[in-house]
Amino acid sequence: MIEAFAAEAAAGQAEPFYATADFWVLVAFVLFFALTGRVIYRVITVALDDRSDRIRQQLDEAERLATEAQEMLAGAERRQREAEAEAEEVIYRARQEAERISERAAADLENALKRREQLAMERLAFAEQTALAEVRARAVDLAIEATRRYLETQAEGKRADALIDATIKDLPNTLKMH
């Protein structure tokens, strides 16, 4: 622009600088920015401050959410450890209970076997006594029958009848003594 003024001054047509359109455009431009500069500066500053506040709030929110997430993670890990410990305790108790039940079942089985053995021994003793009583009864019957036949063939008459009756009466007592 200065060159344009110098070229015009040299040409002899020197017009004052304030009379040119370029000068007034420059003045209007400076006045426009001088008058609206503060307003534009405030608008831009407020917009930037608002944006800065929103970003700060978003960062604070993100930090708060990150803190909450860390707390939730820590809580979840703690609950997981507690659940694992509880599961181990349940397993330990279940094993103890299973051992106790197994021991009790073994003892109950042993007792049942002993009772069955005792019952079998009692049945065997009863069967033995029954068989012995039957054998004795049969022996008595056979002895009575043999005595009766012997006396019938050997003894005769009243003497034989009296001897047979006395022997029959005395035979059970005689057999019990032996």
Q: Is the pLDDT of residue 171 over 80?
A: no
- List the domain boundaries for the chain: 2-177
Task: Give pLDDT tens digits for 28-37.
Answer: 999 988 888 8
Kindly indicate the confidence band of residue 39, based on its pLDDT and cuts at 50, 70 and 90: confident
Compute the distance between CA of residue 129 and CA of residue 117 in angstroms, rounded to an integer.
Answer: 18
Report, as an integer, the average pLDDT of 113-117.
Answer: 91
pLDDT at 12: 54
